[in-house]
Amino acid sequence: MASTARFDVVAIGNAIVDVIARADDALIAAEGLAKGSMRLIDAEEAARLYTAMGPAVEMSGGSAANTLAGMAALGQRCAFIGQVADDQLGQVFTHDLTSLGVAFETPPLKDSDPTARCLIFVTPDGQRTMNTFLGASQNLGRDSLAPALIADADILYLEGYLWNADASRAAMAEAIGLARGAGRRVAFTLSDTFVIAAHGEDFRRMIAAREIDILFANEAELLELAQEQDFETALASVAADVPLLVVTRSEKGAVAVANGERAAVPAEPIDHVVDTTGAGDLFAAGFLAGQAQGRAIADCLTMGAVCAREIIAQVGPRAQTDLKSKVATRVG
């Protein structure tokens, strides 16, 4: 039976403007950065690194917002809840997201921290080193949740990054209760190993309590969550408590376990990796779009893999190709 919900997915995440610049390995070393990592920085460090960057591209980003942008490009109905400030970057973020067809009505904060930004250095091997100043995004509170909006979406999608601030962590926990009370599914992305290292006990408790219906992780995040070193052991351990577990494995493809049934797909072929920024976000976009369309799990995985391939072949986390046509050539 077709859904009567207004939205396929409503996501709660960090509202961030990405600042992306090319960099060589020497600059990464000189700045004392760990290539391929993501870390949180303060306003002073953000200003210093911005000065060190070369010519940059600025576009709205944030993990969950990137996922919704990809879903909108695939024709799905999406809404976003996130916090910006009443400043120039806040206006940039709002315009970018709504112009893609994503509903975004969270009021901007006045007299607050500035809108969040992520300074991303992309090295010649396509690796991205991310330095995030959370700014206003971490001030997302329970007053911004829009309970009616959450109840009117088939899936509530949450990003683990928001677990790092007290206010947003409380808001996310309440959102889970609102979604489950309305009979909606809850999807959660673990975001990064450093998030799991800090909040793994919370995540394990949520999973054990069956509060999460769909869990997204990459291989490293899965191992950190399960506190295992072997992939298969970790997969079996986590899948036992999650109705639908989805794990990306870079060049090894992706695997999903749905109520004990396993499906896997290889990575989509690509000639040259340009920039891995947003690969996991766009994989989630393809997979969730497949879920919204009622497709088989293998097809959902393929849709995710196609979207991830398209995003790593370009600079930045927002698709510059026709995702819908690319996906249609693979799954119809």
Answer whether residue 26 is part of any domain: no
Q: How confident is the model over 189-205, as pLDDT tens digits? A: 999 999 999 999 999 99
Answer whether residue 54 is part of any domain: no
Strand-pair category, 244-248 with 254-258 = antiparallel
Q: How confident is the model over 216-259, as pLDDT tens digits? A: 999 999 999 999 999 999 999 999 999 999 999 999 999 999 99
Q: How confident is the model over 251-309, as pLDDT tens digits? A: 999 999 999 999 999 999 998 888 787 899 999 999 999 999 999 999 999 999 999 99
Instruction: Give the pLDDT band of residue 38 (cuts 50, 70, 90).
Output: confident
Instruction: Give the pLDDT band of residue 151 (cuts 50, 70, 90).
Output: very high
Answer whether residue 194 is part of any domain: yes
Specify the pLDDT at position 321: 87
Provide the domain count of the chain. Answer: 1
Q: What dihedral do alpha carbons 311, 168, 191, 100 form, nearest 10°?
A: -10
Strand-pair category, 153-159 with 128-133 = unpaired
Who contacts 59 (Cβ-Cβ below 8 Å, separation ≥6)? 17, 18, 20, 96, 316, 317, 318
Answer whether residue 302 is part of any domain: yes
Q: How confident is the model over 81-94, as pLDDT tens digits? A: 999 999 988 998 99
* Whole-model pTM over 0.85: yes
Strand-pair category, 244-248 with 56-61 = unpaired
More confident residue, 69 or 59: 69
Domain range for 172 is 7-15+63-88+139-329
The yes-or-no verdict on residue 313 having pLDDT over 90 is: no
Specify the pLDDT at position 302: 98
The yes-or-no verdict on residue 60 having pLDDT over 90 is: no
Answer whether residue 155 is part of any domain: yes
What is the overall mean pLDDT for the chain? Answer: 93
Torsion sign, CA atoms 279, 198, 200, 164? negative
Give percent helix, percent strand, percent coil of the chain, each to the nearest 5: 45, 25, 35
Local structure of 271: helix, strand or coil: coil
Answer whether residue 113 is part of any domain: no
Answer whether residue 201 is part of any domain: yes
Answer whether residue 217 is part of any domain: yes
Residue 276: give its domain's CATH number: 3.40.1190.20
